[in-house]
């Protein structure tokens, strides 16, 4: 089974725990409405049972509506989920209010609406339901986003070693250092420094966003290490001069994409291949595209979605729905395009 869609921020109203919570909150609301009048004589304690019955009826029917609606909306966008849920709740409250008004008029067993017209009763209930449901949906969304951020950040450091710096890259780098120690000690020293710089960024905890200049520098460290192994087989071109140096991006955003390009597109080919990184600032958004020659070795290309999925989760954590990643194949090339909002690094 696939993981639950991250866009579905609503709790499962089909579960007993959520329904029980709804009942408790509804009863508290009934007490609040009973206590609302400042004049004690106006507080209808005798009608508390009927007020509770009406509110509980609305709460349980709204929960049932969201439970039934869940399979239909679970793969939609957060905006669609919020709007459809909100309208469904208001429609449910409207229908139940109409039924309640009709029943009480036919069987006058209470004085709750004796002084209210049909429209006053209906509008009163819809306004209360609109305010409470809007607050509840907003709370569910914020809580869901907070939970995703915590879960993503807690797993990111473990995923970094698996999805960004693969073991074969580390071993190849160490082998290159060992082989160059005697013949070219200066190059071995440079590779060691580049490798150390990459791993310092992986384990650091004080920043999750870094400036573009630093991100490009770290990516170049990685390319320099791989060039010692692949030589002229690796050809990379950078066309990112229009991206401001102080633009903030997630740390090591490019490295796993470059590693994918090398591992799946260049390494399997005897003659090697090329990587082209382009980027620009468009309408307050950073557009970054990585294009690389496409290996036809299907076996070697398996598994390249892991890093892409990891990056997608990190973009969601940092920028919510304002960032995206797309990837596709076209002819002899493989493309990855990142779109994220432009945030400028402040001084200090």
pLDDT for the residue numbered 265? 86
- CB-based contact 253:307 (threshold 8 Å): no
Matching residue, tokens 């060992």 = 178
**177 and 310 part of one domain:** yes
**Phi, psi for 157 (deg, rounded to 5):** -65, -35
Confidence bin at 68 (pLDDT 50/70/90): very high
**93 and 122 part of one domain:** yes
For the cut 60, the answer to whether the pLDDT of residue 25 exceeds it is yes
**205 and 93 part of one domain:** no
Please count the structural domains in the chain: 2
> Distances in Å between the alpha carbon of 245 and those of 62, 90, 111?
51, 49, 70
Average pLDDT over residues 85-105: 89
Average pLDDT over residues 212-228: 89
For the ranges 42-51, 200-209, 286-295, the maximum mean pLDDT occurs at 286-295
Q: Which of 53-57, 63-67, 287-291, 323-327 has the lowest mean pLDDT?
A: 53-57
| Domain termination residue (choose one: 155, 182, 217) | 155
**Rounded Cα distance, 108 and 121, in Å:** 15
**136 and 188 part of one domain:** no
29 domain-assigned: yes
**58 and 175 part of one domain:** no
**254 and 128 part of one domain:** no
Residue 290 or 145, more confident = 290
Confidence bin at 154 (pLDDT 50/70/90): low
**145 and 192 part of one domain:** no
**128 and 189 part of one domain:** no
**173 and 300 part of one domain:** yes
**Angle, alpha carbons 193-194-195 (nearest 5°):** 90
pLDDT for the residue numbered 33? 76
Mean pLDDT, all residues of the chain: 81
- CB-based contact 234:226 (threshold 8 Å): yes
Matching residue, tokens 């950078």 = 238
Cβ within 8 Å of residue 301, ≥6 positions away: 264, 265, 268, 295
**196 and 290 part of one domain:** yes
**115 and 207 part of one domain:** no
For residue 311, what are the domain limits? 165-341
Nearest partner of 339 among 310, 309, 307, 316, judged by Cα: 316
- The DSSP letter of residue 111 is S
pLDDT for the residue numbered 185? 86
> Distances in Å between the alpha carbon of 59 and those of 19, 55, 88, 96?
9, 6, 12, 11
**225 and 249 part of one domain:** yes
């Amino acid at each position: 089974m696939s993981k639950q869609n991250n866009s579905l921020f609503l709790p499962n109203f089909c579960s007993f725990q959520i329904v029980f919570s709804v009942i408790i909150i509804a009863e508290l609301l009934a007490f609040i409405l009973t206590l609302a009048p400042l004049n004690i004589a106006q507080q209808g304690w005798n009608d508390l049972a009927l007020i509770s019955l009406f509110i509980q009826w609305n709460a349980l029917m709204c929960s049932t509506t969201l439970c039934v609606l869940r399979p239909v909306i679970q793969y939609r966008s957060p905006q669609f989920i919020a709007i459809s849920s909100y309208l469904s709740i208001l429609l449910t409250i409207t229908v139940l209010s109409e039924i309640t008004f009709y029943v009480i008029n036919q069987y006058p067993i209470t004085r709750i609406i004796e002084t209210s017209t049909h429209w006053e009763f209906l509008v009163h209930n819809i306004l209360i339901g609109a305010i409470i449901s809007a607050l509840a949906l907003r709370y569910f969304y914020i809580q869901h986003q907070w939970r995703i951020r915590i879960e993503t950040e807690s797993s990111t450091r473990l995923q970094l070693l698996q999805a960004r710096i693969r073991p074969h890259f580390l071993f190849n780098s160490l082998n290159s250092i060992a082989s160059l120690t005697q013949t070219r000690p200066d190059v071995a020293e440079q590779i060691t420094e580049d490798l150390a710089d990459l791993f310092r960024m992986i384990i650091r905890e004080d920043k999750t966003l870094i400036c573009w200049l630093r991100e490009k520098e770290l990516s170049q460290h990685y390319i320099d290490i791989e060039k010692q192994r692949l030589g002229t087989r690796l050809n990379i071109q950078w066309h990112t001069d229009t991206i401001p140096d102080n633009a903030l991006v997630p740390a090591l955003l490019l490295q796993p994409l470059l590693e994918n390009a090398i591992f799946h597109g260049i390494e399997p080919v005897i003659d090697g291949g090329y990587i082209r990184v382009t980027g620009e600032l468009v309408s307050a958004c950073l557009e970054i595209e990585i294009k690389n020659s496409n290996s036809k070795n299907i076996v070697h290309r398996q598994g390249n979605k892991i890093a892409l999925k990891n990056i997608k989760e990190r973009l969601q954590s940092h920028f919510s729905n304002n960032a995206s990643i797309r990837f596709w194949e076209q002819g002899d090339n493989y493309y990855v395009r990142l779109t994220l909002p432009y945030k400028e690094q402040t001084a200090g």
